[in-house]
Amino acid sequence: MECPHLSSSVCIAPDSAKFPNGSPSSWCCSVCRSNKSPWVCLTCSSVHCGRYVNGHAKKHYEDAQIPLTNHKKSEKQEKAQHTVCMDCSSYSTYCYRCDDFVINDTKLGLVQKVREHLQNLENSAFTADRHRKRKLLENSSLNSKLLKVNGSTTAICATGLRNLGNTCFMNAILQSLSNIEQFCCYFKELPAVELRNGKTAGRRMYHTRSQGDNNVSLVEEFRKTLCALWQGSQTAFSPESLFYVVWKIMPNFRGYQQQDAHEFMRYLLDHLHLELQGGFNGISRSSILQENSTLSASNKCCINGASTVVTAIFGGILQNEVNCLICGTESRKFDPFLDLSLDIPSQFRNKRSKNQENGPVCSLRDCLRSFTDLEELDETELYMCHKCKKKQKSTKKFWIQKLPKVLCLHLKRFHWTAYLRNKVDTYVEFPLRGLDMKCYLLEPENSGPENCLYDLAAVVVHHGSGVGSGHYTAYATHEGRWFHFNDSTVTLTDEDTVVKAKAYILFYVERQAKAGSDKL
């Protein structure tokens, strides 16, 4: 939003000596000394923690608004309102009076100058830290940074994603997709495209909505983000370039309000699919697919035209059967899908935790069975029978005609009541290995036993009560180990923790047949 308070609140010099030493993303709150989510006041340069830590940045603003009872405010005090602050990790700007993120700047461009100064401090600190780590490696002191797994010593190379302002929905999806091996490898092996040249070549830029740049590529920025993950060269990567492209081509996700992770995933996959269909970097989509020998023609599922890696990996086909209850006429329709959205059966919706003893635990199989069971359509969904030539009562049933290589299952945890969109907080039990989909197939006899078994690759979890609030994190497995991705923080975890999560989106990868090592 365009903030009217910048001129009266941004008062510090861009190279202010009042800034603390060290990396801005690691600055400590001047009250509680926490280094999580540091924000710097653009009036006085004091550093405080964000509202999701201890909220001292907001308290700093509130304390500055208390009127002076014994002395009349000076003109300087009236102007210095302490209302605008900057996130020291993502460099986004927030105004407490407007209660929103800010996209404009002062006439002198002070906000951008402060942002560039913080970026320079961050880069300098990162360079110094990298040099220090190289010294440690040379001095053979790496053992303190290694982890023992199954008796062997290995380094943790996972990279987090910085939160740019309620972008945890995007981070959770990106981390999940980065751990789907063939999908991730395909993009990482694409040739690079240099969209910036001249003076800005190689520079990291902070983009705002007001910047005009039509020469953007979602595939390229997605590729860059995936390449930055799992390299181990940094603890957290800032995906601001990708987020800028998202703003440009997906208007629904402009701004810094919380978004639905499933909706973002669908938009992301759809736009990647469309861009790949149109060709990329002067190379036709078909030639790229042909060069990737792991994607055979038999594995392609076309959605809105020709196949791409998106449909080859995530694409499946549903058969929708509708039967007229009056004349018995049967109608069949085949629909491609990239994911399946499953209702949590109503009898389980009051059960919130796994250990709550009020009946059986809801399982993923219950949700799948509810999706594929024969259903009688209600009065608002009457079927137009071509034989009866009018709308009639009917039944509907889904069959899976073709299973995808990666089965994405979305649990419908949000539903509309009269005025609100509420969350279904029911725990749903799901398997880590061996999800058998054979009983949901239209022609199970045509599929081998291994082709219907799926193993879990990633889980997206929504924490909180509503779709417009709360927080998203993800669990994903990489080289036999489970990781928990919470924005810029990545931690090792175990299977017992993963299975207790209240899943929102589940990514299952088809189990490889023993004799078919060339398959996904």
Cα–Cα distance between 225 and 202 in angstroms, integer?
Answer: 15
Residue 335: both structure tokens together? 């629909």
Dihedral sign (CA 469, 33, 161, 57):
positive
Look at strands 93-95 and 406-412 and give their pairing. Answer: unpaired
CA distances to 175, 183, 240, 334, 449 from 188, rounded to whole Å, are 14, 9, 18, 33, 32
Residue 1: both structure tokens together? 């939003």
261-277 helix and 168-178 helix, angle to the nearest 10 degrees: 60
Residue 111: both structure tokens together? 């906000």
Cα–Cα distance between 511 and 509 in angstroms, integer?
Answer: 6
Query: Which residue among the candidates 5, 117, 207, 471 is catalytic per the annotation?
Result: 471
Contact 171, 177 (CB under 8 A): no
Residue 446: both structure tokens together? 């045509």
Cα–Cα distance between 65 and 84 in angstroms, integer?
Answer: 13
H/E segment holding residue 335: strand 330-337
User: What are the phi and psi torsion angles at 211 (to 5°)?
Assistant: -75, 135
Contact 449, 439 (CB under 8 A): no
Cα–Cα distance between 110 and 43 in angstroms, integer?
Answer: 11
Query: Which residue among the candidates 3, 11, 88, 168 is catalytic per the annotation?
Result: 168
Looking at residue 391, the DSSP 8-state letter turns out to be: E
Contact 163, 94 (CB under 8 A): no
Is 388 noted as a catalytic residue in this protein? no
Residue 141: both structure tokens together? 């002191």
Is 273 noted as a catalytic residue in this protein? no
Q: Residue 428's beta-bridge partner residues?
A: 362
CA distances to 37, 60, 334, 384, 395 from 377, rounded to whole Å, are 50, 57, 19, 12, 6
Q: How far is CA 79 from the centre of its chain?
A: 40
Residues forming the active site: 168, 471
